């Protein structure tokens, strides 16, 4: 009964989404306030209905209702409750339900926190989001119904993929999807602005906090996925340039370009059409990401779904969304106007340069990800495009991005001079070069690769600090504290975000250059040493989990006389699937990870053991967390909380005088 109620709620949600998509849009075109004001209650209603459907699905999983096909194929009565709940979004159908739930959540949030926006704008934004909701609800109901029954019921479920039975998989997909779906808000604002013909700084100001929030979620979601791959897959990598990873990385790159372009549009009224285009691209790539992972087009770790009918639907959906929005863009963008003027050396120009580079890097990732599919589809043979390609193409494109990242915040809006920039940054450059020379040497081995990575990271840190010093040492209110307080939160957010990038780069460079890996044959009692660490395998024991058997090793790690860690790497064998899983044991610290994973038994007593010492690897994810926190800080800037009139007035004065030069 409960699954049927969930199913019914989805059907009602589809009907409500139709109402939300059609009437407010029509009302906005006609100036009919009654029709426009349908948008908000419809958005709230959608949230209630889709949340009910989601709860019904979660209930089916929690109560082991194996008469629901989705539950029978992705859960098992022996699965612990937290993973049964996470299994709600572990499958293709469930992840779509989660997607739609998040979409309705974002819709309700827009409805709730947009009271200061003109009604027509809200109506159009919610209407566009309603159209997206129609697509997903229809997709679910037609091709991938999570409530489909299996009669007679299966006596036992087939179990969740053991790779997904992990806390990382409980949090990673919701975070990632919050990001993907969040870009639908930026997309909806962009389309609403195009439709309403009001593409100015006000629009950018309204759209900016939403976009930044989505970007924060996406950053955190990608980082969580990377952490998960690092400890769960057992071979210690954190990024594989796997198509599915790329699928989430591409919207991130577009989103990063978008939040910077929005900054210019808000501050200076420039780049308007470019910003709109980026918003369309970011959301299109989010949809493409969903499509790539969920259609079975790719064969990779994450692609669980294999059903061409679904692929055709999403492809058609993609064509409608991308084609439709680009057509609208093409018909309206010409009327947008150029916005404020700026000189070839100015903050605008630097940001535009960075945007171009980011988009080219994004295109490179897209090309590398889809190229094997094209070649295959054209019958030209099979091809692999892997890490060596992306490293060869992506890194050289990103290096200038990072360089400009240090320069941009130093430059003045409108007009700056190269000489002035040089004067402002030469000290930072000197510090960065010195650091890049010395630090690798202190770490024990100098190589051009690690030096160039560190050079970029130190450059960003040095310019950030020097910008900070400039702001706090000089300026209008006297006193250090007064100036400290006067800096807007969004400025602190930018500083923090850029610092996060630097921390991330340091982690990447150091772990790549100085990690040590050993593949050993170890019996209880055997030892090995890596650097200052002695590893000793004490014993191996049999263990038993709720739904698996395992062998658990005990490895002591000594540094001189001090016991640093006792690591318990585990090799699991899941009852239902018989799939062996390696659970690596890791002792984390700021400066290094000690990482041990069990391979296969060799002979009677010995096991293959893989040991890594990974210096500074946690800086990679730490950097991502700092980036996301920077974004959050920027969202809380007080200017976004200004009420209707104040916000409008401020935004107009920001661009009006200069924009019409």
Partner 1 sequence: MKMPYFLLLLVGLPLGAAIAEVATPLAADPVMEERLKALGQDLRCLVCQNQSLADSNAPLAEDLRQVIREQFRLGKNDDQVRGFLVERYGDFVLYKPPLKGSTLPLWLGPFALLALGLGVLVVLLRKRGHKQPLAPTPDAKAQERARKLLDQDP
Q: Which of residues 224-253 bind partner 1 (CB under 8 A)?
A: 235, 237, 240, 242-243
The contacts of residue 508 (CB under 8 Å, 6+ apart) are 453, 620
Structure tokens that stand for 227 in this block = 């952490």
- Local structure of 625: helix, strand or coil: helix
Site for partner 1 in 586-625 (CB under 8 A): 599-600, 602, 608-609
Output the DSSP codes for 111-150: HHT-TTS-HHHHHHHHHHHHHHHHHHHHHHHHH--TT-B-
3-state SS string for 475-520: CCCCCHHHHHHHCCHHHHHHHHHHHHHHHHHHHHHHHHHHCEEEEE
Q: Between 313 and 342, name the residue whose CB sits nearer to partner 1.
A: 342
Q: Which of 560, 578, 604, 645 touches partner 1 by CB under 8 A?
A: 560
CB of 17 to partner 1, least distance (A): 35
Cα 580 to the center of its chain, rounded Å:
29
531 lines the binding site for partner 1 (CB under 8 A): no
Distance CA 392, CA 73 (A): 41
Which residues are CB-neighbours of 216 under 8 A, at least 6 positions away? 179, 628, 631, 632, 635
Does position 515 bind partner 1 by CB under 8 A? no
Question: Least distance from C-beta 361 to partner 1, angstroms?
Answer: 8
The Cα 76–Cα 159 span in angstroms is 5
Of 185, 194, 262, 385, which lies in the binding site for partner 1, with binding defined by CB under 8 A? 385
Taking the complex as a whole, the smallest distance from the CB of residue 179 to partner 1 amounts, in Å, to: 21
522 binds partner 1 (CB under 8 A): yes
d(CA 279, CA 303): 26
Q: Which of 538, 552, 579, 625 binds partner 1 (CB under 8 A)?
A: 538
Q: Which of 123, 263, 297, 647 binds partner 1 (CB under 8 A)?
A: 263
Smallest separation, CB 661 to partner 1 (Å): 5
In angstroms, rounded to a whole number, what is the distance separating the alpha carbons of residues 242 and 259? 26
Cβ 23 to partner 1, closest distance in Å? 38
Is residue 525 close enough to count as binding partner 1 by CB under 8 A? yes
- Interaction with partner 1 in 190-219: which residues (CB under 8 A)? none
Distance in Å, CB of 70 to partner 1, minimum: 23
The residue count for binding partner 1 (CB under 8 A) is: 89
Within 73-92, which residues bind partner 1 (CB under 8 A)? none
* Rounded CA Rg of the chain: 27
Q: Tokens in use for 216?
A: 């924060």
640 bridge partner residues? none
- Using rule CB under 8 A, residue 306 touches partner 1: no
Using rule CB under 8 A, residue 558 touches partner 1? yes
Of the pair 65, 348, the CB lying nearest partner 1 is at: 348
Name the one range near partner 1 by CB under 8 A: 110-118, 144-152, 386-394, 417-425. Answer: 386-394
**Nearest to 53, CA basis, from 111, 109, 94, 113:** 94
CB closer to partner 1 out of 433 and 551: 551
Identity of the residue, 353 or 545, whose beta carbon is nearer to partner 1 in the bound complex = 353
Scanning residues 311 to 350, which ones bind partner 1 (CB under 8 A)? 338, 341-344, 349
Applying CB under 8 A, which part among 6-14, 247-255, 452-460, 550-558 lies near partner 1? 550-558
Cis link prior to 152 (omega < 30° from 0)? Answer: yes
For residues 131 and 180, give the distance between their C-alpha atoms in angstroms, rounded to a whole number: 16
Shortest spacing between CB 298 and partner 1, in angstroms? 8
DSSP 402-460: HHHHHHGGGSPSS---HHHHHHHHHHHHHHHHHHHHHHHHHHT---HHHHHHHHHHHHH
Question: Quick one: tokens of 322?
Answer: 């991308």
The correct pick among 267, 332, 592, 614 for binding partner 1 (CB under 8 A) is 267
| Structural contact between residues 179 and 214, judged by C-beta atoms closer than 8 angstroms | yes
430 binds partner 1 (CB under 8 A): no
Q: Check residue 149 for interaction with partner 1 (CB under 8 A).
A: no
Q: Which stretch binds partner 1 (CB under 8 A): 101-109, 142-150, 506-514, 553-561?
A: 553-561
- Asked if 89 and 70 count as a contact pair (C-beta separation under 8 A), the reply is no
Angle subtended at Cα 282 by Cα 398 and Cα 144, rounded to the nearest 5 degrees: 125
Cβ contact 215:259 at 8 Å = yes
What residues from 470 to 509 belong to the interface with partner 1 (CB under 8 A)? 475-476, 486, 488, 490-491, 493-494
Q: Which is nearer to partner 1, 102 or 450 (CB)?
A: 450
**Least distance in angstroms from the C-beta of 198 to partner 1:** 22
> What tokens were used for 277?
């285009």
Is residue 468 near partner 1 by the rule CB under 8 A? no
Which residue do the tokens 């300026």 mark?
Answer: 475
Closest approach of partner 1 to the CB of residue 173, in Å = 18
Candidates 22-30, 187-195, 198-206, 519-527: pick the segment binding partner 1 (CB under 8 A).
Answer: 519-527
5 vs 551, which CB is nearer to partner 1?
Answer: 551
Choose between 360 and 465: whose C-beta lies nearer to partner 1.
360
CB 458 within 8 Å of CB 436: yes
Helix (H, G, I), strand (E, B) or coil at 383: coil
**Which ranges constitute the DSSP H helices of 233-307?**
243-268, 272-294
Stretch that binds partner 1, among 87-95, 175-183, 522-530, 542-550 (CB under 8 A): 522-530
Q: Which residue has the tokens 């024991």?
A: 541
For helices 92-112 and 167-196, give the axis angle rounded to 10 degrees: 50
**Contact call for residue 305 and partner 1 (CB under 8 A):** no
In the complex, minimum distance from the CB of residue 637 to partner 1, in angstroms, rounded to a whole number: 8
380 in contact with partner 1 (CB under 8 A)? yes
Please pick, from the candidates 37, 52, 67, 300, the single residue that binds partner 1 as defined by CB under 8 A. Answer: 300
Structure tokens at 319: 């064509």
Among 198, 412, 512, 568, indicate the residue that binds partner 1 (CB under 8 A). Answer: 412
Closest separation in Å from C-beta 359 to partner 1 = 7
Position among 368, 553, 569, 622 found at the interface with partner 1 (CB under 8 A): 368
Q: Which two tokens stand for residue 518?
A: 């050993």
Q: Is 544 in the site for partner 1 (CB under 8 A)?
A: no
Kindly state the tokens that stand for 333: 């963008």
């Amino acid at each position: 009964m409960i699954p049927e109620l969930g199913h019914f709620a989805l059907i009602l949600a589809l009907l409500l989404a139709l109402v939300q998509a059609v009437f407010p849009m029509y009302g906005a075109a006609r100036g009919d306030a009654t029709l426009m004001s349908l948008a908000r209650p419809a958005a709230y209603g959608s949230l209630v209905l889709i949340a009910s459907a989601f709860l019904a699905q979660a209930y089916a999983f929690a109560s082991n209702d194996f008469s629901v096909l989705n539950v029978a194929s992705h859960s098992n009565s022996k699965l612990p409750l937290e993973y049964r709940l996470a299994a709600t979004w572990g499958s293709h159908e469930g992840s779509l339900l989660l997607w739609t739930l998040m979409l309705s959540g974002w819709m309700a949030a827009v409805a709730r926190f947009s009271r200061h926006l003109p009604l027509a704008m809200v109506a159009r934004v919610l209407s566009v989001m309603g159209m997206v909701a129609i697509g997903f609800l229809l997709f679910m109901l037609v091709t991938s119904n999570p409530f489909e029954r299996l009669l007679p019921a299966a006596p036992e479920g087939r179990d969740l993929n053991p790779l997904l039975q992990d806390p990382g998989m409980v949090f990673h997909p919701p975070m990632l999807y919050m990001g993907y779906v969040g870009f639908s808000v930026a997309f909806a604002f962009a389309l609403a602005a195009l439709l309403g013909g009001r593409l100015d700084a006000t629009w950018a100001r309204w759209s900016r906090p939403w976009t930044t929030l989505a970007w924060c979620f996406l950053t955190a979601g990608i980082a969580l996925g990377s952490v998960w791959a690092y400890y769960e897959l057992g071979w210690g990598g954190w990024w594989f340039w796997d198509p599915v990873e790329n699928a989430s990385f591409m919207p991130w790159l577009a989103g990063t370009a978008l939040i910077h372009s929005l900054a210019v549009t808000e501050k200076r009224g420039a780049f308007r059409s470019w910003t709109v285009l980026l918003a369309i691209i970011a959301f299109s790539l989010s949809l493409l990401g969903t499509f790539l992972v969920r259609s079975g087009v790719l064969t990779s770790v994450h692609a669980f779904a294999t059903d061409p009918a679904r692929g055709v639907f999403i492809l058609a959906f993609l064509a409608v969304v991308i084609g439709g929005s680009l057509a609208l863009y093409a018909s309206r963008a010409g009327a947008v106007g150029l916005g404020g003027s700026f000189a070839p050396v100015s903050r605008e120009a630097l940001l535009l340069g960075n945007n171009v580079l980011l988009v080219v890097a994004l295109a490179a990732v897209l090309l590398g990800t889809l190229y094997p599919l094209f070649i295959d589809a054209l019958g030209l043979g099979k091809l692999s495009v892997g890490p060596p390609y992306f490293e060869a193409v992506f890194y050289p494109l990103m290096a200038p991005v990072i360089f400009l990242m240090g320069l941009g915040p130093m430059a003045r809006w409108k007009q700056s001079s190269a000489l002035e920039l040089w004067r402002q940054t030469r000290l930072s450059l000197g510090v960065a070069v010195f650091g890049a020379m010395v630090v690798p040497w202190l770490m024990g081995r100098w190589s051009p690769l690690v030096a160039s990575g560190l050079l970029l990271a130190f450059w960003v840190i040095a310019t950030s600090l020097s910008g900070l010093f400039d702001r706090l040492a000089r300026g209008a209110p006297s006193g250090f504290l007064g100036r400290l307080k006067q800096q807007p939160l969004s400025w602190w957010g930018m500083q923090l975000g850029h610092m996060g990038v630097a921390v991330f780069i340091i982690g990447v460079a150091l772990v790549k250059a100085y990690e040590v890996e050993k593949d050993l044959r170890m019996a209880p009692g055997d030892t090995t040493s890596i650097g200052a660490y002695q590893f000793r395998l004490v014993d191996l024991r049999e263990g038993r989990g709720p739904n698996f058997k395992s062998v658990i090793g005990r490895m002591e790690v000594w540094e001189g006389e001090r016991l640093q860690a006792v690591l318990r790497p585990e090799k699991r064998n899941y009852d239902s699937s018989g799939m062996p899983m390696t659970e690596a044991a890791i002792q984390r610290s700021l400066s290094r990870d000690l990482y041990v994973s069990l391979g296969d038994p060799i002979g009677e007593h010995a096991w293959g053991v893989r040991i890594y010492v990974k210096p500074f690897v946690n800086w990679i994810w730490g950097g991502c967390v700092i980036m996301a926190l920077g974004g959050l800080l920027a969202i809380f800037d007080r200017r976004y909380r200004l009420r209707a009139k104040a916000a409008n007035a401020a935004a107009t004065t920001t661009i009006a005088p200069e924009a019409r030069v």
